[in-house]
Structure 1
């Protein structure tokens, strides 16, 4: 949240969620154009992800997005 100095503290989580939604939509659009599949995962271990990425206290893990090849159907 360090980059949101001009945003009131009470609104920072909402702003971050909206930004994450817009970013994930762009990933969906790219994946579709590249023939890839993607899914947003919100049921994740946020603490483990933050630790693995070395995130500081002013960072927040909101969601994860998996990208890969779609399941081939016969």
Structure 2
């Protein structure tokens, strides 16, 4: 199954992993140095929630932002 919110459509996004070494200058170090950047994926925080869709109870995968904002009514 896809890693996608069924309410808002939020899915995985590609980005870079940036490793940093050293202590910042304002903290008394000689400055931060950046290592080799590699590709990574940012995944949405999905939860399975039972809700009512078109009058029938159904389990949907939704992101926690939609859950907190109350976009779908959660069954007890």
Name the TM-score class by shorter chain. under 0.3
Which is richer in strand? 2
Q: Could you state the TM-score of these two structures normalised by the residue count of structure 2? A: 0.23
Q: Which protein is richer in helix relative to its size?
A: 1
